């Protein structure tokens, strides 16, 4: 039963995280938009946002597919995060005050790729660190 509880909580975290992204992109003026005059700061936000989504997806997929090779799990997590980024950009096209942006999507892909790459590097460098402790 503890494994089922961890599995459910991991996917609930993914749903809450993705829901938070959806809600934030539904707002015409997101509250986290900085008043600083730094160019392209929103791209950093996108990278962090989708890097985090990739991280929680990796955890949930690792618990779901314990027999899958971990490289495949990491790549699937990054792929799912990017697909969610595409759907989020399409969603913003229909949100007043927002617009679809290829540059935002590139920042999403960069964030997902950086977390996936870091995870694969850690897995290669320290394989015992990644192994599940069931």
Residue numbers of the domain that contains 73: 2-28+40-130
Structure tokens at 122: 């850690």
Structure tokens at 5: 């509880």
Is 58 part of any domain?
A: yes
Distance CA 95, CA 15 (A): 21
**What value does the mean pLDDT take over residues 113-120?**
96
Distance CA 101, CA 22 (A): 16
**What value does the mean pLDDT take over residues 111-118?**
97
Residue with more model confidence, 118 or 133: 118
Q: What is the pLDDT of residues 26-70, one digit of tens each?
A: 988 766 655 666 677 889 999 999 999 999 999 999 999 888 888
Is 34 part of any domain?
A: no
What is the tally of structural domains in the chain? Answer: 1
Q: Collapse the DSSP code of 90 into the 3-class scheme (helix H, G, I; strand E, B; otherwise coil) and give the result.
A: helix
Is 52 part of any domain?
A: yes
Distance CA 126, CA 134 (A): 18
Is 35 part of any domain?
A: no
Is 113 part of any domain?
A: yes
Is 50 part of any domain?
A: yes
What does the mean pLDDT of the chain come to? 88
Is 88 part of any domain?
A: yes
Is 71 part of any domain?
A: yes
- Asked if residue 108 lies in contact with residue 46, where contact means CB atoms within 8 angstroms, the answer is yes
């Amino acid at each position: 039963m503890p494994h089922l509880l961890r599995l459910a909580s991991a996917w609930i975290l993914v749903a809450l995280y993705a829901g938070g992204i959806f809600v934030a992109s539904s707002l015409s003026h997101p509250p986290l938009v900085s008043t600083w005059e730094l160019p392209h700061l929103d791209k950093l936000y996108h990278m962090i946002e989708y890097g985090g989504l990739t991280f929680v997806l990796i955890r949930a997929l690792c618990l779901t597919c314990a027999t899958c090779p971990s490289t495949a799990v990491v790549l699937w997590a990054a792929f799912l995060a990017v697909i969610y980024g595409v759907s989020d950009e399409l969603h913003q096209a229909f949100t007043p005050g927002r617009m679809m942006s290829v540059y935002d999507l590139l920042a999403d892909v960069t964030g997902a790729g950086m977390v996936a790459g870091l995870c694969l590097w850690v897995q290669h460098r320290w394989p015992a660190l990644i192994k599940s402790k069931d």
